[in-house]
């Protein structure tokens, strides 16, 4: 009788006789998972490391941004003089608060009658604040200052752009149209003035600028509409009532 050897597998025990690799026809899920890990563990670990670095970087940037915003807001609140306001605006030209600083400087220059400087500040503010409410007001202020500074062609062109821009708030568009009507009236072009008065009403019929436009139209020379031949011989001058 041959002695039993521990190194000889017992008859009928086929476990571990087949090596599990990519060529194995029917591996179990655990086998597939182990093969995947053996072949791709370094790649998986590297990808996880990259994701972790990205998460940490994003979190760090958000913390830094929040702290920076608080610092900028504190600096803006601490401004007490025009010189400090100018310094803040120049050092934060890419920030909304820098745009608001430019807008404040523009309003101050406008109130002082310095329309050239006011126009420059308004243009800077509009460039920073874009199409926000304050940005639209800065565009309007720049257009009006252009007219006040004697740059009528440039100012009127800017006002027309605002009036036609549907992305701009209707109150701003209506005011721009009103100023165009006023300019036309001042130049003696009543027909053009009336056209802009009507445009104000079409933009914002219930707004304050529509009311002012109505008053402006009432002050204009009355336009005489084309009359039938019989009426043309009449000695009575027709009148137009404005409602």
Query: So where are the chain's domains?
Result: 25-78
pLDDT value at 196 more than 90? yes
CB atoms within 10 A of CB 142: 24
| Reported confidence tier of residue 218, pLDDT bands at 50, 70, 90 | very high
Residue 235 confidence (pLDDT): 40
Top-confidence residue, 90 or 39: 90
| Reported confidence tier of residue 14, pLDDT bands at 50, 70, 90 | low
Top-confidence residue, 3 or 124: 124
Give the whole-angstrom CA distance, residue 199 versus residue 178.
8
For the stretch 170-190, pLDDT in tens is 999 999 999 999 999 999 999
Give the whole-angstrom CA distance, residue 3 versus residue 76.
95
Give the whole-angstrom CA distance, residue 143 versus residue 151.
9
Contact 122, 139 (CB under 8 A): yes
pLDDT value at 230 more than 50? no
For the stretch 135-170, pLDDT in tens is 999 999 999 999 999 999 999 999 999 999 999 999
For the stretch 52-110, pLDDT in tens is 776 766 666 566 567 778 888 888 888 889 899 999 999 999 899 999 999 999 999 99
How many Cα atoms are found within 13 Å in the side-chain-facing hemisphere of 192?
A: 13
Residue 161 confidence (pLDDT): 97
- Cα three-residue angle 95-116-192, rounded to 5 degrees: 105
Residue 231 confidence (pLDDT): 42
Burial category of 6 from C-beta neighbours within 10 Å (exposed 0-12, middle 13-18, buried 19 and up):
exposed
Residue 12 confidence (pLDDT): 53
């Amino acid at each position: 009788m041959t002695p039993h050897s521990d190194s000889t597998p017992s008859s009928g025990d086929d476990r571990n006789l087949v090596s599990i690799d990519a060529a194995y026809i029917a591996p179990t899920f655990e086998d597939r998972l182990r093969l995947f890990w053996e072949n791709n563990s370094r790649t998986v670990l590297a990808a996880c490391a990259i994701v972790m670095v990205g998460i940490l970087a994003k979190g760090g940037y958000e913390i830094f941004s929040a702290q920076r915003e608080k610092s900028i807001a504190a600096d803006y609140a601490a401004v007490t003089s025009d010189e400090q306001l100018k310094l803040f605006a120049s050092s934060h030209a890419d920030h909304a608060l820098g745009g608001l600083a430019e807008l404040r400087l523009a309003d101050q220059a406008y109130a002082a009658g310095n329309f050239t400087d006011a126009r420059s500040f308004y243009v800077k503010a509009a460039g920073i604040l874009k199409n926000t409410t304050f940005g639209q007001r800065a565009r309007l202020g720049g257009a009006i200052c252009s007219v006040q500074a004697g740059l009528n062609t440039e100012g009127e062109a800017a006002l027309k752009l605002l009036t036609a821009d549907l992305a701009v708030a209707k109150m701003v568009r209506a005011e721009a149209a009103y100023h165009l009507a006023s300019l036309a009236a001042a130049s003696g072009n009543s027909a053009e003035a009336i056209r802009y008065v009507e445009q104000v009403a079409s933009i914002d019929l219930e707004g304050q600028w529509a009311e002012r436009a109505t008053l402006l139209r009432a002050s204009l020379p009355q336009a005489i509409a084309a009359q039938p031949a019989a009426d043309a011989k009449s000695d009575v001058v027709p009148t137009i009532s404005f409602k």
